[in-house]
Chains A and B, each alone.
Chain A
Amino acid sequence: MPARARDEDGTLRVAGGRVLNVTAVASSFEEAQAKSREAAEAIQFDGKVFRRDIGWREAARLTSRV
């Protein structure tokens, strides 16, 4: 889901700020978290910043219940 990306001649360009979202839908929290992170890592552009720990509180809760 592109947030601040512009289409110029078919090439997506980022225009600064928050430029792109990746949403993963899966049958478990861990799976969804992993898939969204993998997809995010696969996308490449210069100056990319994203967090790999989205949902860390939920992850910690799941782990602590072992």
Chain B
Amino acid sequence: MSTSVPSTRPRRTLPEIAAVSWEHPADRAALQAMRAIPGFDEAVRKIVAILGGERGIRLLFQANAVKAGPAQFPTLYSTHVEVCTTFDWPKVPELFVTQTPIFNAGAYGVDDPFIVLHSAALEMLDDEEMRALIAHEMGHVMSGHALYRTIAEILLLVSFSALPILAGIALLPIRLALLEWMRKSELSSDRAGLLGSQDPLASQRLFMKMSGGVRPPNVVGQLNLDAFMAQAQEYSQSNEGLDVIYKILNTLALTHPMHTVRAGELQQWMATGEYDRILRGEYTKRGPETASRPLRDDFAEAGSHYARETPGDAGSRCRRRQEGSEPGGRGLPESAGEMRVLVVGGGGREHALCWALRHDLPSADIYCAPGNPGTAEIATNLEISATDIDRLADAADAYGVDLTVIGPEQPLALGLADRLRAEGRSVFGPGAAGAAIEASKAFAKEVMKKAGVPTAASRSFDRLDEALQYVDSHAEPLVVKASGLAGGKGAVVCATRADARSAVRTMLGEGRFGLAGRVVVIEEFMEGEELSLLAITDGHGVELLPAAQDHKRLGEGDDGPNTGGMGAYSPVSIGTPALLERVQHEVLLPTLQQLAREGAPFSGVLYAGLMIGPDGSPRVVEFNCRFGDPEAQVILPLLAGGLAECMASVARGQAPTALVSRAWTLRRHDGPRRSRLPGCSSEGSRNHDSRIASFGSNRFSCRHARVMKTALCEWREVEC
């Protein structure tokens, strides 16, 4: 820890608090699902036996560790004791520090759990962050996670062949369920981390540091050789083969959900008021009643956090069990005429969506919430805000909606898709975890880096001084972006370092963009022409839409301030079939695969905002997790059909079906050339082969409320 000054901020103790007070419902439900897997109990018993019971497990995880106490790591130990006091936990678990550069920590054991911290954590965290980390691990201890986490480490990381004693048990489903539960269990313990530190900022900084970032000073002077030797002796008395420990400890991070997701989850939990209620003393106390707390509500509550998982995982099993239904939840009716569709949003994009869906589903009931006067002509508007998750879920229920299409990014980032899926509904759009590709630019950058997707060199910062330092040491021009959602206005192109410094100060120092600007991404400026390529995806396959180009600046010639978009056109001639093919393989597919690996599987529309360089190479400017507005207004009219079916297929968790595209050719003076859009079916090309189609859109903006004098129907009259 970087300082040894104890915090003077008063912390509330939480007498006799029971872990159920904060446990995440998804955690409890996943644990229950895991225990229900045939062979699970047997596997647990056998693994504990292999390891030599409680004692063997302790040795395994302490093989290369120093035990904290008054003599070794005294500051750390006193923080640990304070956390136990905060939770009023009578038995202070043993705390070990193990030397490894990989940041992590864990709680292990059977009846007598103990905590292991990686030395990297000590180097990186300040006192309050460390308190949050220890409280997080105490959460695992208090929830009784330690045994299962121990089993998980062994089962997930040791090869099948190394476990011959388990040969008769089907381990794969157990492994998958364990992985699932491990990630969910972190969500519970993150809440414990917050309750133990009572410092929300420290909890968030913790997530950030877990994503990277090491800080001096190190822990020289904290070691006590005598104590360490005594411990080493204990280890040497064991003759178990314990060389798996490094493998285990070094790969722990695989079992954790994305840090950005966790930060978001924690923020949402605080927003429910639960955190404040607990601090006020309104919580469940330990006692016989908590031991037998029924799980009746957990499956329903858990859904929003399972919904983003793929069918066949533990979460889907929970849902199926809960509903007694078949895989896939409520399917679409056979006849399209009976179909009920809810489009969420109230912009021009949603009008375009309703229009395209109405084209495919002439007799369906289409609802739009909140909609606008345009959607009112082709759908039934519902007076519900696009971010009112509860009322939208109620409406989907009340109207028996078969397919929900979510237009804007805010409800996606708020987890509307998760919520509806949890209730067994087909939803087009990613869950909150997948939506982080747009909602956190820092996360998007990390995903791209790991997936090898071409993009601008960049770094993310949450500290002003470090961001300014980075600006000073990098070449002009630079781009400064608020990491969170900022309505398309969070990116500032800075010609000079002075401009970049001022942009950084506005976001990190003055808090412009609020939470969205608490983390900034600073990246190199990319030369070239922008191109938007959108694809409908189930997370595995992609169905490309025609490429578009939008105009963000208010003034003509792309001058003036950035707006949410002043107009767009599609198709774009630089979006050649060869380029689109390249983007599919170099950008879209690797990103989707990496998102799945991050525990944030994506389905819906993945929107790649690209910069096509002077050499014709695509690089990613940003990702969006939905249709663009105004891009949707020019892209969707290009489709001759297939949108509703494709969306419904993806919403069911199946591969996107083919979109029927109007064939198009750009007129060129060197003679007509035809090219088909990717995904263009033979039917589409037969009907439209000789047609040339192109689209333009203009958007109006207006500062004040005024009466509009002319009807809105022009666009329909000029449709071909």
Q: Contact check, B698 vs A27: say whether CB atoms are below 8 A apart.
A: no
**Known: A21-B633, A27-B720, A54-B567. Contact between A36 and B693, CB under 8 A?**
no
Among residues of B, the one whose C-beta sits closest to the C-beta of A24 is B718
Q: Which residue of A lies closest to B550 (CB)?
A: A54
Do B566 and A50 touch across chains, with their CB atoms under 8 A apart?
yes
Quick check: which of B64-72, B178-186, B568-576 contacts chain A, the rest being far away? Answer: B568-576
Which residue of the partner chain B has the closest CB to A53?
B556
User: CA of A48 to CA of B573 in the docked complex: distance in angstroms?
Assistant: 30
The answer to whether B372 has its CB under 8 Å from any CB of chain A is yes
A7-44 CB contacts (< 8 Å) to partner B: 7, 11-33, 35-37, 39-40, 42-44
The reply to whether B694 and A29 contact each other, CB–CB distance below 8 Å, is: yes
A54 touches B696 (CB 8 A): yes
Query: How many chain A residues touch B (Cβ–Cβ < 8 Å)?
Result: 56
Instruction: Say yes or no: B372 contacts A5, CB within 8 Å.
Output: yes
- Would A47 and B702 be within 8 Å (CB), given that A57-B529, A65-B669 are in contact? yes
A2-B374, A17-B702 known; 13 new pairs, CB 8 Å cut-off, are A3-B699, A14-B708, A18-B348, A18-B565, A20-B708, A25-B693, A46-B707, A54-B551, A55-B696, A56-B556, A57-B529, A58-B572, A61-B573
Question: Looking across the interface, which residue of chain A has its beta carbon closest to that of B708?
Answer: A45
Report whether A22 and B698 are in contact in the complex, using a CB–CB cutoff of 8 Å: yes
Chain B residues near A44 (CB, 8 Å)?
A: 708-710
Q: Are A5 and B373 in contact (CB under 8 A)?
A: yes
Whether a CB of chain A sits under 8 angstroms from the CB of B2 is no
Is the Cβ of A51 less than 8 Å from the Cβ of B706?
A: no
Which residues of chain A are near B557, meaning CB under 8 Å? 53, 56
Of the candidates A4, A7, A21, A27, the one having the most CB atoms from chain B within 10 angstroms of its own CB is A21
B348-391 at interface with A (beta carbon < 8 Å): 348, 351-352, 355, 372-374, 376
27 contacts between A and B (CB under 8 A): A2-B351, A3-B351, A14-B708, A16-B704, A18-B563, A18-B565, A18-B700, A20-B700, A20-B708, A21-B698, A22-B714, A23-B715, A24-B695, A25-B720, A26-B718, A36-B698, A39-B718, A40-B698, A42-B710, A49-B701, A50-B567, A50-B701, A54-B698, A58-B573, A61-B573, A62-B667, A62-B668
Whether the pair B699, A18 counts as a contact (CB closer than 8 A) is yes
Seen from chain A, the residues whose Cβ lies within 8 Å of a Cβ on chain B are 1-7, 11-33, 35-37, 39-40, 42-58, 61-62, 65-66
Indicate if B395 sits at the interface (CB-CB under 8 A).
no
* Cα–Cα distance between A14 and B708 once the two chains are bound (Å): 6
Nearest 5 CB-CB pairings of A with B: A54-B567, A39-B714, A46-B706, A1-B351, A45-B708
CB distance from A38 to the nearest CB of B (A): 8
Say yes or no: A43-B714 contact (C-beta < 8 A), given A21-B698, A58-B549, A61-B573: yes
**Counting CB contacts under 8 A, is B697 at the interface?**
yes
- Whether B566 pairs with A51 at a CB distance below 8 angstroms is yes
How far apart are the CA atoms of A11 and B696 in the complex, in Å?
26
Bound: A42/B718 CA distance, A: 13
Contact in complex: B630, A21 (CB < 8 Å):
yes
Residue of B nearest to A35 (CB): B718
CB of B650, distance to nearest CB on chain A (Å): 24
Highest count of chain B CB atoms <10 Å: which of A17, A18, A47: A18
**B-side contacts of A28, CB under 8 Å:** 666-667, 692, 694
Q: Which residues of A contact B567 (CB under 8 A)?
A: 36, 50-51, 54-55
* Closest B residue, CB atoms, query A2: B374
Q: Looking at A15, A25, A30, which has the most chain B CB atoms within 10 Å of its CB? A: A25
B303 at the interface (CB under 8 A from A): no
B380-412 interface code vs A (CB 8 A; 1 in, 0 out): 000000000000000000000000000000000
How far is B351's CA from A53's CA once the two chains are assembled, in angstroms?
23
Q: Is B719 an interface residue (CB 8 A)?
A: yes
Q: Quick check: is B684 within 8 A (CB to CB) of the other chain? A: no
A25 near B698 with CB under 8 A, answer no
Task: Name the one of B355, B373, B715 contacting A22, with C-beta atoms under 8 angstroms.
Answer: B715
A56 neighbours in B (Cβ, 8 Å) = 556-558
Interface contact A2-B712, CB-CB below 8 Å: yes
* Interchain CB contact under 8 A, B373 and A7: yes
Q: Which A residues are CB-close (under 8 A) to B704?
A: 16, 46-47
Residues of B within 8 Å of A37, CB to CB, are 696, 698
If A12-B708, A42-B710, A46-B706 touch, does A58 touch B569 (CB 8 Å cutoff)? Answer: yes
* Whole-angstrom distance between the Cβ of A55 and the nearest chain B Cβ: 4
What B residues does A49 contact at CB under 8 A? Answer: 554, 700-703
Q: Which of A3, A16, A52 contacts B348 (CB 8 A)?
A: A3
| Distance in angstroms between the alpha carbons of A4 and B712 in the assembled complex | 13
Most buried by A among B554, B558, B574, B701: B701
